[in-house]
Amino acid sequence: MTARYAVFGQPIAHSQSPHIHAAFARQEGIALDYQAIEASPADFPAELERFAAGGGVGANVTAPLKEIAFGLCRTFTSRAKLAGSVNTLLRKDGYWHGDTTDGVGLVRDLTERHSLDLRGRRVLLLGAGGSARSVAPALLDAGILELIVVNRTSERADELVDAIGEPGRAKTRHWEDLHDLGDFELIVNATSAGRDRNATFELPKALVNSMTTAVDLNYGEAAIAFLAWARAMGCRNTVDGLGMLVEQAATSFQQWHEVRPETDPVYAGLRARNALAGEE
């Protein structure tokens, strides 16, 4: 039976993951069967088991399925346990092993591709879902000074910060308090608000200083609204999630095939093709 790989999500037709993994496989001379599979949260467990029965040995998971995927794993990495969500699945002896690679992908993109020094930075994280839960610990590991998590449902932000367990560095605030938080060197949008075509971001200008980098974990159309706000506010840099996507995919690929592919040519190719993706 041919080994199969896939990315699961809803919606999934926009996903760049099949193109990315195909490019990695060409680099390494690996024959790869990687498909995009749309699954609702209710259908995902059954779809994943059907995939495994058909030869599925590895999968990526995107919104809104990352936390459901965590619950379907028998084992997982320590960073996945901390996040409470997974985006990478590996079949082991008849069960799923889970990891979350979004956080390490974001840090690699920011520090290596965009040459940002995250050490000692004050960071605002908007959102507390699966992606936010993955990137928050990685940002702290990268040496940031302080992480403020703000979510429209404050209980979710509290759960995230409690899981991190670093009350001196990771804190929550209410969305209504954004005007009173001071300014940040890094603002990360981990919400899904930009997926609404009519979305606009109305955040206080006081959040921005002369060094601020604004990052949207989304890419393409979903990143337009937040990055437009960031440019209008005078942020020094704006970065969408395309680089993070490529870097997290490389970490997934390495886990499945035991070799890490070169990411720069794949990123450059996607950037050239994706006219709607945000710009640095």
* Residues with catalytic roles: 66
Closest CA to 124 of 97, 96, 148, 157: 148
Q: How many CB atoms lie within 10 A of CB 178?
A: 17
Cα within 13 Å of Cα(18), Cβ side: 14
Q: What is the DSSP string of 221-260?
A: HHHHHHHHHHHHTT-SEEE-SHHHHHHHHHHHHHHHHS-P
Phi, psi of 184 (to 5 degrees): -135, 145
What distance in Å separates the CA atoms of residue 62 and residue 252, rounded to the nearest whole number?
Answer: 13
Q: In Å, how far are 69, 74, 167 from 105, measured between CA atoms? A: 19, 24, 25
What distance in Å separates the CA atoms of residue 79 and residue 84, rounded to the nearest whole number?
Answer: 8
Q: Where are the alpha helices (DSSP H) in 100-190?
A: 102-108, 130-141, 154-164
Closest CA to 194 of 153, 157, 241, 245: 241
Q: Where are the alpha helices (DSSP H) in the chain?
A: 17-28, 44-53, 66-71, 78-83, 102-108, 130-141, 154-164, 221-232, 242-257, 264-273
